[in-house]
Amino acid sequence: MTGDIARARDLLDHATSVAVLTGAGISAESGIPTFRDALTGLWEKFRPEELATPEAFEANPKLVWDWYAWRRGVVAKAQPNAGHRALADLERQCRGHEVDFTLVTQNVDGLHREAGSQRVVELHGNIRRVKCFDRHHPVESWPEGDHVPTCPRCGSLLRPDVVWFGEAMPPEVLATAVAAARTCDVFLCVGTSTVVEPAASLPFLALDSGARVIEVNPQATPLTGRASVSLRGTAGAILPLLV
Ligand code: APR
């Protein structure tokens, strides 16, 4: 492992452009359950197609709203961990050496920004934001109560401003992530199962464009076989050693 850490550091030290992709794993040590890990994953208790789709919301808005309210509560109590902080440090170091840096995250918890990361591309939105279902009007505050609150402008139901299964992500957000993957020479992939598209394709796009990939994950993923360095451990333990 020490040799692998040294190799990963060497790749980062010689990079001229770094892209990072994070998934639920990086926030696990902040107490936010991941989606697909056995027993602890959120999806073990709830079927995603029952909760994280526009159809599910239309069928049972209260169930979906309450589930997100619960998740928002978990996120509100969470603090960035050593992994988030290490990525913020990496960004500062890259900027200090005029190395391009883009952090792309699938997470909706906002913890990267809280840790001090600046150039953050939130592919799946942010659970702390709310918008209305029909017209996507952003809404800053809403009453808590037994009913799903409604939009003050158009009266439609409120929903989290996240990207649900079956929904497209904003094109400019995806374009920024794709450009970062295509132009980086080192791609660091942290805490994602790399199964949900289009995020899952980003490290492969980087590989096809000639980048070297470093993976940080306690478990093997579809990416592991193609990574230049695969660091098997948690983000909170490994990332501070890299930076
Ligand atoms: N540090 C690093 N990685 C970890 C840690 C940790 N402490 N704990 C778990 N992991 C790894 C797991 O091994 C797994 O590979 O994090 C990954 C979590 O995978 P998923 O739960 O599938 O999360 P993610 O890849 O972010 O899911 C993608 O799917 O459900 C949708 O929109 C949701 O953004 C999410 C997307």
User: Residue 41: its pLDDT value, please?
Assistant: 63
Determine how β-strand 125-132 pairs with β-strand 158-162: antiparallel
219 lines ligand 1 (CB under 6 A): yes
- Point out the residues of the chain with pLDDT beneath 50: none
Tokens representing residue 153 in the block: 């402008």
Question: Cα(63)–Cα(57) distance, rounded to whole angstroms?
Answer: 8
Task: Give the per-residue pLDDT at 49.
Answer: 67
Residue among 141, 94, 130, 87 nearest 111 (CA): 87
Q: What is the whole-number distance in angstroms between the Cα of residue 196 and the centre of ligand 1? A: 10
Q: CA 170, CA 144: separation in Å to the nearest integer?
A: 29
pLDDT (0 to 100) of residue 40: 65
Confidence (pLDDT) at 138: 96
Asked if 10 and 236 touch (Cβ cutoff 8 Å), the reply is no
What is the structure's pLDDT at 124? 96
Please give the distance, rounded to the nearest whole angstrom, from the Cα atom of residue 199 to the centre of ligand 1.
Answer: 12
Cα of 203 vs centre of ligand 1, distance in Å, is 15
In one letter, which amino acid is 31? G
Q: Which residue type is seen at 125? A: G
What's residue 187's pLDDT? 98
Is position 124 annotated as part of the catalytic site? yes
Closest C-alpha to 53, from 137, 162, 149: 162
Q: Is 33 in the pocket of ligand 1 (CB under 6 A)?
A: no
Which residue type, as a one-letter code, is found at position 159? R
What local confidence, expressed as pLDDT, does residue 39 receive?
58
> Is the minimum distance from the CB of 27 to ligand 1 under 6 angstroms?
no
Does residue 198 have a cis peptide bond before it, meaning omega lies within 30 degrees of 0? yes
Ligand 1 atom at shortest distance from the alpha carbon of 199: 28
Does 217 sit in the ligand 1 pocket, CB within 6 Å?
yes
Q: What is the pLDDT of residues 210-221, one digit of tens each?
A: 999 999 999 999
Cα–Cα distance, 77 to 110 (Å, whole number): 12
Dist. CA 11–CA 8, nearest whole Å = 5
